[in-house]
């Protein structure tokens, strides 16, 4: 009886646990991608790496190595290497949407960071002051998911040193597991049946 009780209890807990899966919190490192020199415009090869490993793509930005970056010294700056000094907007697209983005930044000149939904609705914004400031802030999507992020300033002087966001490791187009899935009717039946067996077993044992 004890063995049966244990087996049923474990099965019931497994079923309950399977109904509450959540996407993981993920923090990639731009230093993982090897690039020559101190500045390297993000190209198709880099994006293939980011897409496969991070679930993101980057446009109008370049990789940098800079000692003023107090995080790990590597990140992405807005614009291409050839566009340093002109107003530019770098962009990061999340292949799977996320309900928040935490950003580590090095702001050499004032920079505006903005998060958007897939339909282009502005969901949140943050302005970094410049003067080589570094810091961390979080943008949230509220009732919507964040689809992409922009960072705008004089080209090369607004950066993203690091990111943290929801990513489940599978680029299916949207983090559908952010919201716990509703169990199928047969799952409910199995859960209730398992709990019923537990109740009967406990009642019989207490009456014995």
Question: Cβ distance 127 to 184 under 8 Å?
Answer: no
What proportion of the chain, given as a percentage, has pLDDT over 70? 71
From the centroid of its chain, how far is CA 118? 15
The residue among 14 and 165 whose pLDDT is bigger is 165
25-178: CATH number: 2.60.120.260
Q: Which of 5-19, 31-45, 165-179 has the highest mean pLDDT?
A: 31-45
Is 0.85 topped by the overall pTM?
no
- Which residue is associated with the tokens 């807990």? 13
Output the pLDDT for position 189: 52
Confidence of residue 168 (pLDDT cuts 50, 70, 90): confident
Q: Which of 24-28, 88-92, 128-132, 185-189 has the lowest mean pLDDT?
A: 185-189
Report in angstroms the alpha-carbon separations of 196 from 28, 60, 189. Answer: 45, 59, 10
- N- to C-terminal Cα separation, the chain: 12
* pLDDT, the chain, mean: 82
Pairing of strands 61-65, 56-59: unpaired
167-176 mean pLDDT: 68
pLDDT tens digit string along 52-83? 999 999 999 999 999 999 999 999 999 999 99
pLDDT tens digit string along 179-205? 444 444 544 454 455 545 455 454 555
**Domain parsing of the chain, residue ranges:** 2-18+184-207, 25-178
Does the structure show a pLDDT above 60 at 104? yes
């Amino acid at each position: 009886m004890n063995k049966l009780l244990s087996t049923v209890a474990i099965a019931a807990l497994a079923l309950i646990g399977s109904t509450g899966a959540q996407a993981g919190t993920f923090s990639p490192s731009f230093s993982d991608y090897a690039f020559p020199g101190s500045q390297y415009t993000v190209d198709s090869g880099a994006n293939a790496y980011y897409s496969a490993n991070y679930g993101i793509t980057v446009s109008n930005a370049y990789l940098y190595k800079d000692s003023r970056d107090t995080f790990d010294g590597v990140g992405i700056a807005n614009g291409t290497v050839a566009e340093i000094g002109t107003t530019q907007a770098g962009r990061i697209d999340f292949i799977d949407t996320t309900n928040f983005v935490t950003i580590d930044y090095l702001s050499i000149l004032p920079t505006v960071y903005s998060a958007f939904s897939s339909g282009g609705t502005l969901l949140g914004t943050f302005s970094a002051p410049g003067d080589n400031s570094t810091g961390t802030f979080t943008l949230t999507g509220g009732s919507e998911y964040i689809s992409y992020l922009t960072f705008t300033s004089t080209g090369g002087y607004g950066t993203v040193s690091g990111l943290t966001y929801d990513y489940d490791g599978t680029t299916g187009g949207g983090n559908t597991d952010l919201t716990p899935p509703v169990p199928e009717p047969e799952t409910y039946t199995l859960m209730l049946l398992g709990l019923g067996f537990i109740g009967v077993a406990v009642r019989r044992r207490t009456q014995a």
